[in-house]
Amino acid sequence: MLDYLIPRYKVLRDADLCTRCGVCERTCSNDVHRVDEQAGRVTADHMKCVNCQRCVTMCPTHALAIGKWPQVGNGSSNWTLECLQDIAKQAQTGGVLLASMGNPQPHPIYWDHLLLNASQVTNPSIDPLREPMETRVFLGARPEALKVNERDHTVMTKLPPQIKLDVPVMFSAMSFGSISLNAQTALAMAAQELGTFFNTGEGGFHHSLKPYADNAIVQVASGRFGVSPEYLNTAAAIEIKIGQGAKPGIGGHLPGEKIDAEVSRTRMIPQGTDAISPAPHHDIYSIEDLRQLIFSLKEATRYTKPVAVKIAAVHNVAAIASGSARAGADIIVVDGFRGGTGAAPKRIRDNVGIPIELALASVDERLREEGIRSTVSLVAAGSIRSSADIVRAIALGADAVYVASAALIALGCHQCQDCSSGKCNWGIATQRPELVKRLNPEVGAQRVVNLIRAWNHEIQEMMGGMGINAIESLRGNRLMLRGIGLTDRELTILGVKHAGE
């Protein structure tokens, strides 16, 4: 059957700059480039190009660029070329369309409609180079009031377990299996260096990461892969994954070809078998079941580790977050629909869930209405792209944020959305040894550390401008935000005034 698909990208090669050195050919795992010595030129199979930009970056003479395939649609905004191609693909294969990374739809990005404040005259801005500027955050449950002995300076109340972050950023769950061990190791090393946390995802805890256990959050998801008493007790905190922003209501599927010996050992499943995480936890069909799981995990770790519950931002997210807090979650993680994934059905990724900005604002507000916001920690996830997004998230009400896509981009990811092929040219979303080794964890960790340090400096600069020298004074401080180009309804949900007000 003739495949009606056409290429998405066109490899543009500047003949004046190409030296036929062959770096592109050697670096492309999709076999796009070929040095044709006979013809004296390098050719490209455009159909295979996924626009990962590895060759563009590696070319010693910058002779390469990737362009859009010049084919035009018929001009319809309805039957777009992408729409036609999706149909052609399904007509060919009869399968569910798979995609990766976060929701790419042109929905409003509310971060870009929120402006930050700065002090003028009546309140001095603070110079972070001269004054302490605190970005330390603790995550965990808190009592509403503390009982102390003021004379002896001792605490009578037993404080629930906490984790300490020196920067208000953690690395979200990405399992060994969905990403390479080198990628996970790079994040673990960076987390340790930065004084923050990485998350194992639902892939078990690889033995080589033991030195980074104090900076690890282990995940318990619906497949329960890799979960054991040792696993739970190894890490600093435990996260129950109920949902993921990129694919709310959907489980996970790691194909058998990615389950090599190491992945198999770490996940505690047979080599070569598909690892299927069910859509729901089959022991959680209701909120009271969640409470049982939370307390089972607390019992298993003797109440020494905070338990987080991660939920996808869906329509009813505020009530679900509140219910989770009341079910005993110490930390609530809300993951917006632009959050990334290694693989998700395209229709789910592009159509299910809501933006993190609105979800975060309504969760924070709901928890305050119920008077329980100060007793639980709130983490926002789902496409945090810069330090300014972090400042906005904290001002909307988050204690800290999770980043994953940004950390992967620091490692080399170019968001080509082809993770599920397993042929990641950057050594991130792959288990092929020859590709995995492209990511040297030490190089990767340094890049991630550089990124987060730079962001933290920027956060400090922005806080200083607002006259704030401790990040807790930014938390939920929505007066530091103003909306621009938003409707009254949007402003109400976000709980911010419009610029000029």
Partner 1 sequence: MTHIRAPREGDVRIPSGCAIAGIMDRSGERHSGGDILKSIALMHDRSNGLGGGFAAYGIYPDYAELRAFHIMYESPEARRETEAYLDVHFISEKQERIPTDSSSRIRNAPDIWRYFVAPHPVRLSMSGMDEPEYTMQHVFHINGCIDGAFVASSGKNMGVFKGVGYPEDIGEFYRIEDYKAWAWTAHGRFPTNTPGWWGGAHPFTLLDWSVVHNGEISSYDANRRYVEQYGYDCELQTDTEVITYLFDLLARRHGFSPEMAAHIMTAPAWDEIDRMEPSRRAFETALRITYPSALVNGPFSVIIGSNEGLLALNDRLKLRALMTAEKGSMVYLASEQAAIEAVCPDAENVRSLDGGVPFLVLLDSVAERKRQENPENSPEQPRPRALEVGLQPSVRKEA
Partner 2 sequence: MKRIYAIEAWCLGCKRCEIACKTQHSATRDTVKALTQEQPSPTSRVQVEGDRFLSLAVNCRHCAQPKCVKGCISGAMQKDPASGLVTSDPAKCVGCRTCVSMCPFGCVQVVSVEGRDIALKCDLCTEDGCIPGEPACVAACPNGALVYWESEE
Q: Which stretch binds partner 2 (CB under 8 A): 13-21, 66-74, 106-114, 480-488?
A: 13-21
Identify the helix (H) or strand (E) that includes residue 165: strand 163-165
Angle, CA 401 vertex, CA 396 and CA 405 arms, to 5°: 125
By C-alpha distance, which of 124, 136, 111, 114 is closest to 464?
A: 124
Q: Find out whether 313 and 271 touch, Cβ atoms under 8 Å.
A: no
Determine, following the binding rule CB under 8 A, whether residue 410 of this chain makes contact with partner 2. no
Residue 435 Cβ vs partner 2, minimum distance, rounded to whole Å: 9
Work out how close the CB of 388 gets to partner 1 at its nearest, in angstroms, rounded to a whole number.
18
Select from partner 2, partner 1, none the partner in contact with residue 61, using the beta carbon and a kind-dependent cut-off of 5 to 8 Å. partner 2
Instruction: Judge residue 288's burial from the number of C-beta atoms within 10 Å of its C-beta, 0-12 exposed, 13-18 middle, 19 or more buried.
Output: exposed
User: Which residues within the stretch 395-414 sit at the binding site for partner 1 (CB under 8 A)?
Assistant: none
Structural contact between residues 165 and 138, judged by C-beta atoms closer than 8 angstroms: yes
Measured from the CB atom, the residue of 38 and 77 that comes closer to partner 2 is 38
Q: Measured from the CB atom, is 274 or 442 closer to partner 2?
A: 442
16 binds, among partner 2, partner 1, none (CB under 5 to 8 A by kind): partner 2
What is d(CA 196, CA 182) in angstroms, rounded to the nearest whole number? 18
Q: Give the nearest distance from C-beta 271 to partner 2 in angstroms.
A: 20
| C-alpha distances out from residue 107 to 30, 338, 359, 390, 392, Å | 31, 10, 15, 20, 18
Query: Nearer to partner 1 by C-beta: 57 or 119?
Result: 119
- Which residues in the 414-453 window bind partner 2 by CB under 8 A? 433-434, 437-440, 442-443
The string of DSSP codes covering 430-499 is: ---HHHHTTS-HHHHHHHHHHHHHHHHHHHHHHHHHTT--BGGGTTT-GGGEEESS--HHHHHHHT-EET
- Distance separating alpha carbons of residues 373 and 357, to the nearest angstrom: 17
**Site stretch for partner 1 (CB under 8 A), options 132-140, 192-200, 441-449, 453-461:** 132-140
12 binds partner 2 (CB under 8 A): no
For residue 178, give the amino acid letter.
S
In degrees, rounded to 5, the angle at the alpha carbon of residue 134 between the alpha carbons of residues 131 and 139 is 175
Window 54 to 73, contacts with partner 2 (CB under 8 A): 57-58, 60-61
Whole-angstrom CA distances from 149 to 13, 152, 156, 352, 443 are 73, 6, 7, 51, 49
Q: How far apart are CA 139 and CA 448, in angstroms?
A: 22
Q: Which is nearer to partner 2, 22 or 104 (CB)?
A: 22
Pick what 477 binds: partner 1, partner 2, none; C-beta below 5 to 8 Å, kind-dependent.
Answer: partner 1
Q: Is 147 a residue that touches partner 1 (CB under 8 A)?
A: yes
Q: CA–CA separation, 352 vs 248, rounded Å?
A: 7
The verdict on 22 binding partner 2 (CB under 8 A) reads yes
Could you tell which of partner 2, partner 1, none binds residue 470, using a CB distance below 5 to 8 A set by kind?
partner 1
| Minimal distance, residue 265 CB to partner 1, in Å | 38
Q: Should residue 466 be labelled a site residue for partner 1 when binding is judged by CB under 8 A?
A: yes
- Binding partner 2 (rule: CB under 8 A), the pick from 4, 6, 12, 17 is 17
**Which of partner 2, partner 1, none has residue 500 at its interface (CB below 5 to 8 Å by kind)?**
none
Count the Cβ atoms, other than its own, within 10 Å of residue 411. Answer: 25
The CA distance from 206 to 227, in Å, is: 12
Q: Does residue number 96 form part of the binding site for partner 2 (CB under 8 A)? A: no
Degrees to nearest 5, angle at CA 500 with 494 and 501: 60
Contacts of residue 73, defined as CB under 8 A and 6 or more positions apart, other chains included, come to: 79, 80, 81, 84
Of 60 and 278, nearer to partner 2 (C-beta) is 60
Q: Which two tokens stand for residue 4?
A: 């009606």
Classify strands 148-149 and 154-155 as parallel, antiparallel or unpaired. antiparallel
In the complex with partner 2, the residue whose CB is nearer, 60 or 67, is 60
Shortest Å distance, C-beta 267 to partner 1: 35
52 vs 334 by CB, closer to partner 1? 334
Helix and strand tally (H, E) in the chain?
15, 23
Of 62, 136, 207, 210, the residue at the interface with partner 1 (CB under 8 A) is 136
- Sign for the CA dihedral angle at 37, 42, 46, 48 comes to positive
Q: Which of 38, 95, 144, 229 binds partner 1 (CB under 8 A)?
A: 144
Q: Which of 113, 247, 478, 482 binds partner 1 (CB under 8 A)?
A: 478
Nearest distance from C-beta of residue 139 to partner 1, angstroms? 10
- Identify what 134 binds: partner 1, partner 2, none; CB under 5 to 8 Å per kind: partner 1
Q: Is 369 an interacting residue with respect to partner 1 (CB under 8 A)?
A: yes
Q: Rounded to the nearest whole angstrom, what is the least distance from the CB of residue 498 to partner 1 in the complex? A: 14
How many residues at the interface with partner 1, by CB under 8 A?
54
Return the H-helix or E-strand segment holding 362. helix 356-369
**Residue number, 27 or 119, with CB nearest to partner 1:** 119
Check binding of 26 to partner 2 (CB under 8 A).
Answer: yes
Residues at the contact surface with partner 2, assessed by CB under 8 A: 16-17, 19-23, 26-27, 57-58, 60-61, 433-434, 437-440, 442-443
Residues at the contact surface with partner 1, assessed by CB under 8 A: 119, 121-124, 126, 131-132, 134, 136, 138, 140, 142-157, 159, 162, 315-316, 318-319, 368-371, 373-374, 466-470, 472-480
